[in-house]
Chain A
Amino acid sequence: MGKFQKIQELFVSGLIKVSGYSAIIFVLLILYFLLSEGLPALKEVSVQSLLETRWYPIEDFYGLLPLIGGSIIVTLGATLIAVPIGIGTAVYIAEVSPRWAKEILKPMVEVLAGIPSVVLGFLGILAFTSLLRQSLDLPTGLTALTGSILLALISIPTIVSVSEDALDAVPRSYRDAAVALGATEWETIWKVTLPAARSGVITAVMLGIGRTIGETMAVMMVTGNAPILPTGLRDLFSPVRTMTATIAAEMGEVASGSTHYHILFFIGIVLFLISLIVNLTASAVVFRQRKRSERILS
């Protein structure tokens, strides 16, 4: 190897290393930026007033609870809708459907994943709001439930494609063994294939939840954005204001460096922490299961 080649080698491998580490650097930079802009909020406003139930920033009411509650209830509703449908679709595509149906369904799910959330928001305003209001006899159709339905549509493709991959990865011999023991098709799916693919399916659900909690545009258009603290699942039928919609609606207007500005970044920190917790839970669950299965196999 000549000298030139060595330099070349060094240069290229260096560049590749930098691009590899850049993801870590970006996350750290974002975290630093969030903390430096958001933490001053704690100095300007007491923690107690952040735990109030009234959000009205232009009159200095900075209670975050309605916003956190709003994000949680919309995400919870979306998960309740998306998980059964998503896993059901994945099971159908991977286990039950004939080949031609599979070839139509898979691209269709991917098309659903490609629809921009603003477009889904329009769909929500046009189709769901008045339908929900009339069929459930609600005062208004702009509710948490409307947001949940749209978010379910957004997260279903993620859940379907990831859990379908996990189901595909289950070895054929498992199913053959189950059928040989006299299990029906349903018993094979429910008791053998799904448990075997469990860690992949749980990852799929967690990715779906992550997608849901960060979504902004569709939610802002259909949830009504009223900062009411939800107290139970019953509040799915009333308007809510999510953290993401609050940041999007108010960030453009605040004077940079003001208390309101710092609080909006603080909401960003809370969002970041919540998705971190979701991710950590997911990997903890997957990790524990792998250990248990390793124990059984050894």
Chain B
Amino acid sequence: MRLQRYLLFVLFAICLIGCRGKSTSEGPSPPSDSGYIENKGSDTIVNLALAWAEEYQSIHPDVRISVTGGGSGTGIAALFNNTVDIANASRKIKPEEREAIEKNGTEPFEFVIARDAIAIIVNPENPIEQITLQQLSDIYSGKIDNWKELGGEDRPIVRLSREVNSGTHVYFLEEVVRLGDKENKTLFSKDTLLLPSSEGITAEVRDNPNAIGYDGLGYVTPDVKVVPVSRGDDSPFIYPSANTVNTDTYPIARDLYMYTAGQPAGLVKIYLDWIFSPEAQVIVNELGFVPIINSDE
């Protein structure tokens, strides 16, 4: 009898807790000018976006900025699902993604917020000294299978790539594997290892003398070997750096983007304006990316 009443009470309490949980989650989301910015997308940019957010919040303590990664596609998908204010992307928005946003009655606005070079990395034991874009394309499409063919040791080549949801992967496919040719339908070789993170690629390259990989310049650690790249047989072999990216001499460099749905307004606009200021662009340099000097949207 007593036990029953106790059980009844417990069940009732559980119901109450359940109800309360529901009502709080249905609360209205804060409007965009109330001091909160949601920022999501490319894993390449996530460290940079975090550094900016921290710096901005230390100057403006009343503003809160939340930064998460997940990949360029993830960020843009969140933009048309209306769950973020700013999406980070390491590639341009795709036409179908643009359409999805236009279906919501707005259009995406694009900002080039920094530039990035993609470094080609191998194990420090690998004697290879330089590589051309054509050779990279042949390696990743599976035409070259052994380091011997590039003047290296007699070792099989293990190709490392980021996962297909990464903007870096798409950029590398278009600009390196297909050599920037839109008609070219070459694909990555089937046995290319698709690793879920930049750190995964660095770890395997550090460990495995057979491996070749690519990573954003900001992610390259001193214990892997960066190989200089040439556009063709006559062009010089160039190491990636802020300087060679800004003068367009390093061949595998790209723009990094932030997108908003509709013309940015209020807090988001102030934040984006600050990102193009010299003090914010200094941080770009510190993280191994290349700053934008003249912002043209």
Is there contact, CB below 8 Å, between A11 and B163? no
Is there contact, CB below 8 Å, between A249 and B204? no
Judge whether B51 is part of the interface by a CB distance below 8 angstroms: no
**CB-nearest residue of chain A to B163:** A249
Judge whether B82 is part of the interface by a CB distance below 8 angstroms: no
Q: Chain B's nearest CB lies how many Å from the CB of A61? A: 8
Is there contact, CB below 8 Å, between A228 and B71? no
In-complex Cβ contact of A255 among B100, B207, B210 (8 A):
B100
* A111-129 Cβ-contact flags toward B at 8 Å (1 or 0): 0000000000000010001
Q: When chains A and B are docked, how far (Å) is the Cα of A224 from the Cα of B204?
A: 10
State whether A228 and B100 are in contact (beta carbons under 8 Å apart), knowing that A129-B207, A249-B196 are contacts in the complex. no
Q: Chain B's nearest CB lies how many Å from the CB of A251? A: 9
* Interface stretch of the complex, out of A136-144, A170-178, A186-194: A136-144
Set of chain B residues within 8 Å of A106, measured between Cβ atoms: none
State whether A253 and B165 are in contact (beta carbons under 8 Å apart), knowing that A133-B208, A140-B208, A221-B200 are contacts in the complex. yes
Set of chain B residues within 8 Å of A262, measured between Cβ atoms: none
State whether A15 and B170 are in contact (beta carbons under 8 Å apart), knowing that A139-B210, A225-B163, A227-B190 are contacts in the complex. no
Set of chain B residues within 8 Å of A220, measured between Cβ atoms: 196
Interface residue tally for chain B (C-beta within 8 Å): 40
Judge whether B13 is part of the interface by a CB distance below 8 angstroms: no
Judge whether B73 is part of the interface by a CB distance below 8 angstroms: yes
In-complex Cβ contact of B207 among A57, A59, A130, A227 (8 A):
A130
Is there contact, CB below 8 Å, between B158 and A252? no
Judge whether B97 is part of the interface by a CB distance below 8 angstroms: yes
* A141-165 Cβ-contact flags toward B at 8 Å (1 or 0): 1100000000000000000000000
Is there contact, CB below 8 Å, between B204 and A142? yes
Judge whether B288 is part of the interface by a CB distance below 8 angstroms: no
Q: When chains A and B are docked, how far (Å) is the Cα of A277 from the Cα of B155?
A: 43
Q: When chains A and B are docked, how far (Å) is the Cα of A11 from the Cα of B15?
A: 13
Judge whether A58 is part of the interface by a CB distance below 8 angstroms: yes
Judge whether B77 is part of the interface by a CB distance below 8 angstroms: yes
Q: When chains A and B are docked, how far (Å) is the Cα of A238 from the Cα of B158?
A: 11
In-complex Cβ contact of A225 among B96, B185, B195 (8 A):
B195
Is there contact, CB below 8 Å, between A253 and B74? yes
Q: When chains A and B are docked, how far (Å) is the Cα of A227 from the Cα of B191?
A: 7
In-complex Cβ contact of B73 among A12, A125, A241, A253 (8 A):
A253
Is there contact, CB below 8 Å, between A125 and B192? no
Set of chain A residues within 8 Å of B180, measured between Cβ atoms: none
Q: When chains A and B are docked, how far (Å) is the Cα of A140 from the Cα of B194?
A: 13
Interface residues of B in 1-25 (CB under 8 A from A): 4-5, 7-8, 11
Interface residues of A in 79-132 (CB under 8 A from B): 125, 129-130
Set of chain B residues within 8 Å of A130, measured between Cβ atoms: 207-208
* B59-91 Cβ-contact flags toward A at 8 Å (1 or 0): 000000000001101100100110000000000
Is there contact, CB below 8 Å, between B164 and A140? no
Is there contact, CB below 8 Å, between B170 and A58? yes
**CB-nearest residue of chain B to A245:** B196
State whether A254 and B163 are in contact (beta carbons under 8 Å apart), knowing that A11-B8, A56-B188, A139-B158 are contacts in the complex. no
Q: When chains A and B are docked, how far (Å) is the Cα of A12 from the Cα of B191?
A: 59
Judge whether B187 is part of the interface by a CB distance below 8 angstroms: yes
Is there contact, CB below 8 Å, between A239 and B193? yes
Q: When chains A and B are docked, how far (Å) is the Cα of A57 from the Cα of B204?
A: 25
State whether A226 and B193 are in contact (beta carbons under 8 Å apart), knowing that A12-B4, A125-B203, A140-B204 are contacts in the complex. yes
Judge whether A250 is part of the interface by a CB distance below 8 angstroms: yes
In-complex Cβ contact of B190 among A11, A141, A226, A250 (8 A):
A226
Interface residues of A in 24-74 (CB under 8 A from B): 54, 56-59, 61, 66
Q: Chain B's nearest CB lies how many Å from the CB of A90? A: 35
Q: When chains A and B are docked, how far (Å) is the Cα of A283 from the Cα of B70?
A: 41
Judge whether A22 is part of the interface by a CB distance below 8 angstroms: no
Judge whether B45 is part of the interface by a CB distance below 8 angstroms: no
Set of chain B residues within 8 Å of A133, measured between Cβ atoms: 207-208
Query: Which of A142, A241, A253, A258 counts the most B-chain CB atoms under 10 A from its CB?
Result: A253
Is there contact, CB below 8 Å, between B74 and A252? yes
Set of chain B residues within 8 Å of A58, measured between Cβ atoms: 164, 170
Is there contact, CB below 8 Å, between A250 and B163? yes
Query: Which of B73, B164, B170, B191 counts the most A-chain CB atoms under 10 A from its CB?
Result: B164
**CB-nearest residue of chain A to B81:** A256
State whether A140 and B158 are in contact (beta carbons under 8 Å apart), knowing that A125-B203, A221-B200 are contacts in the complex. yes
In the complex, besides A142-B193, A250-B163, A252-B74, 15 extra interface pairs with C-beta distance below 8 angstroms are A11-B8, A56-B164, A56-B187, A56-B188, A57-B164, A58-B170, A133-B207, A139-B157, A220-B196, A224-B193, A225-B193, A226-B191, A226-B192, A249-B165, A255-B80
- The 6 A-B residue pairs with the shortest CB-CB distance, nearest first, are A253-B165, A253-B73, A224-B193, A139-B156, A225-B194, A140-B158
**Hey, which bits of chain A sit against chain B, CB under 8 A?**
8, 11-12, 15, 54, 56-59, 61, 66, 125, 129-130, 133, 139-142, 220-221, 224-228, 238-239, 241, 249-250, 252-256, 258
